[in-house]
Structure 1
């Protein structure tokens, strides 16, 4: 790759960052070269500008993420409208409801998970939330919020790929049933799933709005199905209140 420039070089540079980010500790240049499938000299060619610009730091054990990554994350949070107030909203919702509280931020067409925050309740089941496109969006309450808010073209893309896979016997796997469910969510402002994504897990979610009134994320509670049945009204009220607070927390100060 010596002398390689342009998109390919940029792609390899991003691969280096991703490899270091996935590691549990410092990564040596030799390990990075193996991961990239390139010569050690090529790895050093990629590592040098990343280190000089502060995106990586070289330690005795190898390379770790640098201070500029933290700066990027703060900028990302600012652009997404994520403030420290979100964490307080989740803590209050978890205390009020006695259940794990989650915040999911959406990006792009609304069907990409850009950020996840969780305040866990001991012993409670929690959804397996990951950054990126989640093929279980139609099964989780937070995903239904995103689908309900997404435009027709985005929903159509989701139906085509990854499609309505069935994860449990309760998963909605019919376009007609999903459309009906999304209309109900737009009408009521609350999404529910009861063992649709995972057995033994129920979730309920409400949308968080940005400054332009568009849905930018959702807050949700994760409970056991029997708990949802016993405290449905209380939990719905809690998630609605938290969504209003999270929306306010993301607005500019007046």
Structure 2
């Protein structure tokens, strides 16, 4: 009688067909991408909870297609990943250079002497698809990352996404992950948040003053796609005192940058 591991050794992808096999292959890619150093096949097998032969079976197509590269120390991301990222940037309208998003952020940072950010939205608008940051030396920065951010109701860029999202998407966010309180200033009631989002839709700018993090204030404006839908936002991260003293200048700068970043001006 063979053990489960022995059966898997004999048939490495037994029970690993269709969506399950695709899911585990993507899991391998994500594990390698999230590691600070090359990852060995043995380490991947341990993380996946599978036999070593199964790990090699999952690694083979990723390596053959150039999404992973095998080095002396283990597996690292391959050249095809950067090609995918460039294609993603084209689809999201994230062009580089002085006429692209990077140029817009560089000009906004120079004009305001503040950290400038661009956040691209995807799906129902509450998923951060890409982040660009031009940090000002010694100034505060928002801690932004791709994915669903449970702090969306506390950050200015997140409020832009919530204000543009449909009622069903906003309701899902309020229910899960919910309106957690990160500082004493965080909006933690659905009624107050609705009022705030109505103000944002009316004025075209979102503010947060120490709502996500003590000592940090942000302001953001929506970037519109060719169909007029909100596809992202540009934002500035400053100290609360700077927002109080330069409020009008910063609002004007972030609105101008949002117009420049929009594909149709």
TM-score (norm 2): 0.92
Any stretches of 5+ residues in structure 1 without a counterpart?
Answer: none
State how many pairs are aligned. 250
1:197 aligns with 2:212: yes
**How far off its partner does 1:25 sit?**
1.9
Secondary structure at the aligned position of 1:192 is classed as strand
1:10 aligns with 2:22: yes
- Specify the alignment match of 1:23 in structure 2: 35
Query: Equivalents in 1 of 2:178, 2:169: separation in Å?
Result: 12
- Specify the alignment match of 1:242 in structure 2: 257
Over 3 Å off, 4+ runs: none
1:58 aligns with 2:73: no
1:137 aligns with 2:152: yes
Preserved CA contact (<8 Å) 1:33 1:40: yes
Secondary structure at the aligned position of 2:88 is classed as helix
Query: 1:251–1:42: structure 2 CA closer, same or farther, 3 Å change rule?
Result: farther
TM-score (norm 1): 0.96
Which of 99, 116, 121 is residue 106 of structure 1 equivalent to? 121
- Specify the alignment match of 1:173 in structure 2: 188
Secondary structure at the aligned position of 2:177 is classed as coil
Query: Equivalents in 1 of 2:264, 2:39: separation in Å?
Result: 40
Secondary structure at the aligned position of 2:70 is classed as strand
Secondary structure at the aligned position of 1:220 is classed as strand
1:227 aligns with 2:242: yes
1:79 aligns with 2:94: no
**How far off its partner does 1:79 sit?**
1.5
1:67 aligns with 2:82: no
1:209-239 CA distance string (max 9 Å, x none): 1111100000000000000000000000110
- Specify the alignment match of 1:40 in structure 2: 52
**How far off its partner does 1:251 sit?**
4.9
1:94 aligns with 2:106: no
* RMSD over aligned Cα atoms: 1.2
Secondary structure at the aligned position of 1:193 is classed as strand
- Specify the alignment match of 1:216 in structure 2: 231
Preserved CA contact (<8 Å) 1:81 1:251: no
Deviates more, 1:64-73 or 1:226-235: 64-73
- Specify the alignment match of 2:3 in structure 1: none
1:158 aligns with 2:173: yes
Any stretches of 5+ residues in structure 2 without a counterpart?
Answer: 1-7
